[in-house]
Structure 1
Amino acid sequence: MHTERGFDRLVNFSDAVVAIAITLLILPLVDTATELNDKTVSELLADNWLKLLVFVISFAVIGRFWLAHHRMYENIVGYDKALLLTNLFWLLTIVFLPFPTELIATGDSDGSPATSALYIGTMVLSSFAGTAQMMIILRHPELQAPEVRGTLSPITSLVASSMMLLVFLVVVVFPQVGLFALFGLLLTGPVQSIVERIVRRAETPAA
């Protein structure tokens, strides 16, 4: 039997794991601070601009994933085995992200194509794990809070995952693009709005 206390523990555990993962991102920069020696702070920052950039990107990515996860779990009041296991897989991808982040940060400024693919591929898995959780919630209305039943939609999650997959494919097919492909994710919001309008029009009965 899944109790309210069990659900609270699931949410708290997830938040704690994400907090640990996002904290791990800063540790390489903390180690870099010990290399100051005769350098000025400006010189140290200039020498480690790539580490700083990748830290900011990864922090924003994990933060975005957590916000989506938070909104999703705000709309539910319970869980089942499938949701629990899928959430654990999502947490696995979140905890793994600092690894390719460090690979990029310690590589050359252009980055290895394989490393970029691993980095963005991890994000793809995180995104689809989040979408899978949403689909499980939609299939089981009893998990949803009474006030939101019948109002939840998978569109936002599906579009976000599809855009992430598209960026990954661009990196695989055109490895020279590297992490610049991530700028394509800026189109996620507009694409979501377009898809939502199309769906609303399709669901509106003809006059």
Structure 2
Amino acid sequence: MGRDLYQRESSGYDRALGFFDAIYGFSLTLLIANLDAPPAEAWQSLDALLAHDVGNQLFGFLISFVVIAAFWRVNHRAIDRLSTIDSRVILMNIIAAGLVIFIPFTTQGISDSETSDLPLPLALYAVNIAAAMLAQSVIMFTARRYDEAAHPLTARQWGIQVLDAMVGPLVFLGSVPVAYAWGGDTAKFCWLLLIVLGPLSARLAQRATAALAPEPPLEAEPLAS
């Protein structure tokens, strides 16, 4: 059975892209469900408001909002590189979207003051994010494969790209043993490493990939008349 193909200007392409965009938007909206409305007396002052666990909930909301928005941006950039969408790309997007939809649920565990310092909620959240990152990387690599005729990569260049894509998942998975050793709240600080390691890894991967690019063949010198 052949794979379904949807060209960029077709309605099938637009419907597929719109479907996945809607999933990311809906996942962002679901995060608000993790914010419990505080009682009336909590609105008397900022200290009273924070005392009713609003600070933890807003912190969890902010982290997951940034993460899901970043996932949407990566997915949008990957799809934008494709001139066609086939059933394989759609399947990988469904898997990635399913993991993203699960983020509002795992966010609840790390944003509730009664459970935020427990290792299990952080472990579930970290594994959820790491798995979503890996799924998104597969989509990005697929997009690169489609574009390889114009920008071919060697095996070593592909290896560098894979290593760069593993930085994010490894940081989140690395926070799991920290949570079981020192608590979930402490383990969250591990995620701050991505502020430095993410851009640094991307820059090094870009330089290494460019350094390994094959040199264009030399043009033959014209024979003197």
TM-score by length of 1: 0.84
Given candidates 58, 64, 70, the residue that maps to 2:70 is 64
Distance 1:28 1:83, change over 3 A: same
Overall identity of the aligned pairs, in %: 26
Please name the residue that 1:150 is paired with. Answer: 151
Please name the residue that 1:178 is paired with. Answer: 187
Higher deviation after alignment, 170-179 or 119-128 = 170-179
Q: What code does the residue aligned with 1:54 have? A: G
Q: Is contact 2:126–2:176 with CA below 8 Å preserved after alignment? A: no
Given candidates 185, 191, 194, the residue that maps to 2:201 is 191
CA distance in 2, matches of 1:54, 1:100: 10
Q: Is contact 2:75–2:139 with CA below 8 Å preserved after alignment? A: no
Q: Deviations over 1:58-113 (max 9, x none)?
A: 00000111111111111112111211100000000110000110111224375221
Distance 1:162 1:181, change over 3 A: same
**Aligned residues: CA RMSD:** 2.5
Identify unmatched segments of 5+ residues in structure 1: none
Between the two proteins, the alignment pairs up a number of residues equal to 197
Q: Which runs of 4+ in 1 moved over 4 A?
A: 151-157
Compare CA radii of gyration and give the structure with the larger one.
2
Please name the residue that 1:105 is paired with. Answer: 111
Distance 1:167 1:61, change over 3 A: same
Q: Give 1:44 deviation, angstroms.
A: 1.5
Q: Deviations over 1:94-140 (max 9, x none)?
A: 10000110111224375221211111111111111111112223334
Q: Give 1:21 deviation, angstroms.
A: 0.5
CA distance in 1, matches of 2:152, 2:73: 19
> Are 2:16 and 1:7 aligned?
no
The answer to which structure has the higher helix fraction is 1
Identify unmatched segments of 5+ residues in structure 2: 216-225
TM-score by length of 2: 0.78
